[in-house]
Structure 1
């Protein structure tokens, strides 16, 4: 469009030159004057994005948008891609008639609003720009391709599978229905659980933690595999005590038992064993690819133990960038196809041999020489599907979700259509940590379990803040308006530019009204509208439990620092749908099972699309470990299939 405009301008100039040097008496008809739609200049507009203010500076001539520069703090790999795509669309079309970017609605809305505000200052007819007809793109054509391994879904599990399949000699095609890679991984809090002797060596074992381990060893179990775990843990723990060590005890065996017990013993022991035995190797593999984790570990919400690893890069960007760096370096063998929606599996003599998909209305037929990996994620963003399977919670119709909009269970439906077994579909995880407006984890001010408490609208604590996620959410739902405040102090935010787990500084959150700051607890109470005496009492009794003066009234065992150093901070949270534990049933080799327990040849699965690992409740920090472990297993299994 713009090239055509420039060509026309050159033609007009040439025509004018010839009219001047030609016969002066000869008059040529004047070209029709193009009506001005902007007042030339550079204008600034501002609007709210997902993570804060978006500022757009728009430069225009009388008829054209020539430049747009943007300042923002949107999520790397997701929100920033939406900003880039919409800016490009506005510049190319000289209009506001550009589509939202799927999965990044808030960022899309924010950048369009900021550009609109700038163009209003330029005197533009905004409605005309919104309704301007734009020339359509060239229609997509049907395509047919073949690779050794076809992967459905470009989130953390799918990309881990792609890298591993290639490392095992396979060519790979990955399809993703969204316009960008990353899935839920890229917007996650990034915690990755694993026993890790080196990083845990700086932590001291508390008496309460010792009691926790002893209780797990002594608990009654019926499954023979789990009994073997207990016997192994007993041996490991006795050796630890005999060594005289005082640092934190941990092992894959303890991780197994906490995962199993934390899911009400509904997870499949053989899957849990494969999972926890491979978490540390998965971290080491990621590090071999260039990913960096911090040297210390912490306890993420609902993790139950101090084994959560945190990447150096914010959110889940480190995982996705690591995978994509490898894929870019091997792009001749690994192809990523975005905006490509899987529709059905190709089945030949009972074996899955490919995928039927669509791109822009055209057919995409993909053939797999060795295998197909399903890594399409869960169904947390599909309200109807949640309602269909939910039997454990009140209606979830009006509950927001932390998930990106593409988590709609398409892959689960595809698998069921060819006879795959589904397991644990009723197990839907809610968190007590949703943003009251968006339902996302963004804005959460907690840095870890040990240094914060929850209070309700009266200023009173109501639950063990180190408990399972479902236990905390159930307790929150019983509070007024199912609404709570997270309370922390300077131990969590030594300076105003200290960032939370979602790359947001506490000063920015306070400035945006998403968090509140007080130099005293009474001052903080006044700002958030809770009874100051109740808040002071809640903090005081918590602090006594920290130093062991009293036992915690809710049975909490995970502590670090007292909440006793100003400034004090508060952030509001509500229940939100976070994870779907149910899905396609798999073997420890990530092969998909049918309803009769037989392996469906050629089909593998990994990540949240699978079920049977986490039982009724997933431990915090186990998801990213799960998708890396089983993504790797699926990639290797498919690549080496015969």
Structure 2
């Protein structure tokens, strides 16, 4: 069946994760006549709805006012590592994007808290951060779900918003000729398939369809074959990157894939390739990682470092490839992360044990951690804070309960993707001093590359969705009004 007649110009957003929702919201606030959001799944929310650690922001009113946070940019740049040093142009572009991400972070937190009504009052220190700056709520709803549901509710209250689920975008429609003789043709709309019917829409297009960590047999296998066999925190679905590269978009950093060190192994389904994430807040609040009862790493170091430390151990299964590591939270950490721990325990991913029930090696480890947490001894792995750790390392600990789960590294986030500039315009080339864009096309969220480099800081995925999603929405709305 051929396409129907195009509808009147609308801002077209593809993908209903947080980046797509933020883009739609910004487009409406920028007076777009209409926003049509296309989602290939039956339910909106994408992977964003599963995000559990929180959202970075600095400096914000929720942080410790006695110690101003001026290190977000430097922490992010340090985490990005050496990637992007191949040319001055690429290096400077990454710095500009990081600066934009961090400078707009406080405004992003304020927007969600003040205009959308999201509770972001609890601030936690995550791995790779020098200051506590990851925001989440005090309630039982994980931050990703809370943000997505409330933002979606806000959008549904606007008559100009049109959400269409079960819609697979199959083509980007190009104009007959290029706006720039040296560049690709302008994107003027999309075609999508729904219920075996092909429909076309006219208007500027924003792509926010996420990464490719779950695209095991295609993009992941192509760019990181060494990660074959690893389980993932992402649903198994194809990445949409090829659709954009077919119209001239440039791909960058595609071999940069983040492994999250702690995906739960469900005791009732150990061979499942899809793992539920053990939120980084568990370690931030004092959780420790054990192999045969012993610690082996600073648990709040970067995800890259912690993952590598686990993967240097001998793995216990190759279908999927996974390791036998315990995550253990003492009573103080359990209280501080109570909504998470309760949820994981209800799902059977964590269980309670008295300290007296643990083996001798683990009990000795708990005593050592208690001494380090109380500053009686230096930590052997260089960990400087143990969050809300409360065990004292004495005999009274024996009757107290800890919560324990089995975790393993999982493919989690792809730092590589579509190249963009500070206006979220999709780039056809990143070479040379002048940019070459794909006109009429914007991108935001995990689909994009060139920001996080070798390693993304925990808490920055939700942030980049809001910051760059809003920019894309504003820019596309302005184009549609011309």
Query: How would you bin the TM-score normalised by the shorter chain?
Result: 0.7 to 0.9
Structure 1 residue 256 corresponds to structure 2 residue 95: no
Aligned partner of 1:330 in structure 2 is: 158
Deviation string for 1:385-404 (max 9, x for gaps)? 1111117xxx3222111113
Aligned partner of 1:399 in structure 2 is: 230
Structure 1 residue 640 corresponds to structure 2 residue 473: no
Change beyond 3 A, Cα 1:620–1:176? same
Residues 418 and 443, structure 2, Cα contact 8 Å, conserved in 1: yes
Which of residues 183, 191, 196 is equivalent to 2:46? Answer: 183
Aligned partner of 2:210 in structure 1 is: 377
Which of residues 204, 222, 228 is equivalent to 1:388? Answer: 222
Residues 263 and 409, structure 2, Cα contact 8 Å, conserved in 1: yes
Deviation string for 1:325-366 (max 9, x for gaps)? 2221113x1211111101121111211111111112211101
Aligned partner of 1:486 in structure 2 is: 327
Q: SS where residue 480 of structure 1 aligns?
A: coil
Deviation string for 1:181-226 (max 9, x for gaps)? 1001111115100113422227xxxxxxxxxxxxxxxxxxxxxxxx
Structure 1 residue 603 corresponds to structure 2 residue 429: no
Which has the larger displacement, 553-562 or 337-346? 553-562
Residues 486 and 573, structure 1, Cα contact 8 Å, conserved in 2: yes
* Match runs of 1:102-117 below 5 Å: none
TM-superposed CA distance for 1:422, in Å, is 0.7
Residues 352 and 402, structure 2, Cα contact 8 Å, conserved in 1: yes
TM-superposed CA distance for 1:447, in Å, is 3.1
Any gaps of 5 or more consecutive residues in structure 2? 85-93, 178-184, 316-322, 392-396
Deviation string for 1:207-260 (max 9, x for gaps)? xxxxxxxxxxxxxxxxxxxxxxxxxxxxxxxxxxxxxxxx33412xx1111111
Residues 53 and 281, structure 2, Cα contact 8 Å, conserved in 1: no
Q: SS where residue 301 of structure 2 aligns?
A: coil
Any gaps of 5 or more consecutive residues in structure 1? 1-138, 203-246, 526-531
TM-superposed CA distance for 1:284, in Å, is 1.2
Aligned partner of 1:242 in structure 2 is: none
Structure 1 residue 290 corresponds to structure 2 residue 116: yes
* Match runs of 1:67-78 below 5 Å: none
* Match runs of 1:225-624 below 5 Å: 247-251=66-70, 254-266=71-83, 268-311=94-137, 312=139, 314-315=141-142, 316-331=144-159, 333-348=160-175, 349=177, 350-368=185-203, 371-384=204-217, 385-390=219-224, 395-406=226-237, 408-410=238-240, 412-436=241-265, 437=270, 438=272, 439-442=274-277, 447-456=282-291, 458-481=292-315, 482-494=323-335, 498-500=338-340, 504=343, 506=345, 508-509=346-347, 512=348, 514-520=349-355, 522-523=356-357, 525=358, 532-564=359-391, 565=397, 566-595=400-429, 597-624=435-462
Q: SS where residue 373 of structure 1 aligns?
A: strand
CA distance in structure 2 between the partners assigned to 1:575 and 1:484 by the alignment: 9
Residues 53 and 279, structure 2, Cα contact 8 Å, conserved in 1: no
CA distance in structure 1 between the partners assigned to 2:375 and 2:123 by the alignment: 24
Residues 539 and 563, structure 1, Cα contact 8 Å, conserved in 2: no
TM-superposed CA distance for 1:295, in Å, is 2.2
Residues 420 and 448, structure 2, Cα contact 8 Å, conserved in 1: yes
Aligned partner of 2:88 in structure 1 is: none
CA distance in structure 1 between the partners assigned to 2:11 and 2:445 by the alignment: 17
Q: SS where residue 198 of structure 1 aligns?
A: coil
CA distance in structure 1 between the partners assigned to 2:284 and 2:338 by the alignment: 17
Change beyond 3 A, Cα 1:518–1:445? farther
TM-superposed CA distance for 1:538, in Å, is 1.8
CA distance in structure 2 between the partners assigned to 1:571 and 1:505 by the alignment: 9
**Structure 1-normalised TM-score?**
0.64
CA distance in structure 2 between the partners assigned to 1:197 and 1:360 by the alignment: 46
Structure 1 residue 158 corresponds to structure 2 residue 17: no
Residues 422 and 585, structure 1, Cα contact 8 Å, conserved in 2: yes
CA distance in structure 1 between the partners assigned to 2:162 and 2:331 by the alignment: 47
Change beyond 3 A, Cα 1:447–1:435? closer
Deviation string for 1:601-624 (max 9, x for gaps)? 111110000001100110000000
CA distance in structure 2 between the partners assigned to 1:423 and 1:320 by the alignment: 28
CA distance in structure 1 between the partners assigned to 2:252 and 2:280 by the alignment: 35
Change beyond 3 A, Cα 1:444–1:616? closer
CA distance in structure 1 between the partners assigned to 2:10 and 2:476 by the alignment: 8
Residues 166 and 172, structure 1, Cα contact 8 Å, conserved in 2: yes
